[in-house]
Amino acid sequence: MAHDGRMRILEAAKALAESHDSVQGVTISLESVAQKAGLTKPGLMYHFPSKEALMLGLVDHAAEEWAQRLRTHTGHASEELTSFERHRAYVTVATTAEVSRADYWIFSDALYHPKLSRAWSEHLGPWFDTTGLDDRAVSLLTAARFCADGAWMSEATGVFPSDDLAAVCRHALSLIDAAEQMSDGAAEEASTDTETGVTE
């Protein structure tokens, strides 16, 4: 029951952000969210005792939603996938997901508050992990991720959106393919070097 109450409040906060004509016009307060959720301010404060607690909850909710989209798309948890599979999932989801100004506002607001950005790192950090890959492969994966970041943020804000997101997705995926081929080639070369060393 308490979980339902929290979700109702978080959805109300997101809807309040979405109802504004611009990201800059967003004002989130305990009073405005309580009113939007059909609660009293004390009723809201039972779940979120301060504005900071509400914002932490909202960012955590948004970040978990993104992680859930990725799990749903792949059918796997991040640790069950290769770095290339994880990045492919993010590029595909980010260029096809329904996003809104509220998504952008929640994400961008967290950039200026370390406590808020922690939720993004916790939920999405594992999906962007590139441990063990060489610098060239990492740079290609990062470029693909930046393509996807720009795509969904542009769609969410309506600022210079792409006329062909599918093409953007294809180009970003080709960067991931190149990173994987590069990584496979490096692994084969290392294996050959090892075998040569043993036979000598």
Domains, the chain: 1-49 (1.10.10), 58-197 (1.10.357.10)
Q: Interior CA angle at 56 toward 22 and 78, to 5°?
A: 100
3-state secondary structure of 1: coil
Mean pLDDT of the chain: 87
DSSP state of 164: -
pLDDT in tens, 154-185: 998 888 989 999 999 999 999 999 999 998 87
Decide: 141 and 181 in contact? Cβ < 8 Å.
no
pLDDT in tens, 42-74: 999 999 999 889 989 989 999 999 999 999 999
* Single-letter amino acid code for the residue at 99: V
User: Residue 5: pLDDT above 80?
Assistant: yes
pTM of the model: 0.84
Q: How far apart are the first and last CA of the chain?
A: 69
Q: Which of 3-12, 78-87, 174-183 has the lowest mean pLDDT?
A: 3-12
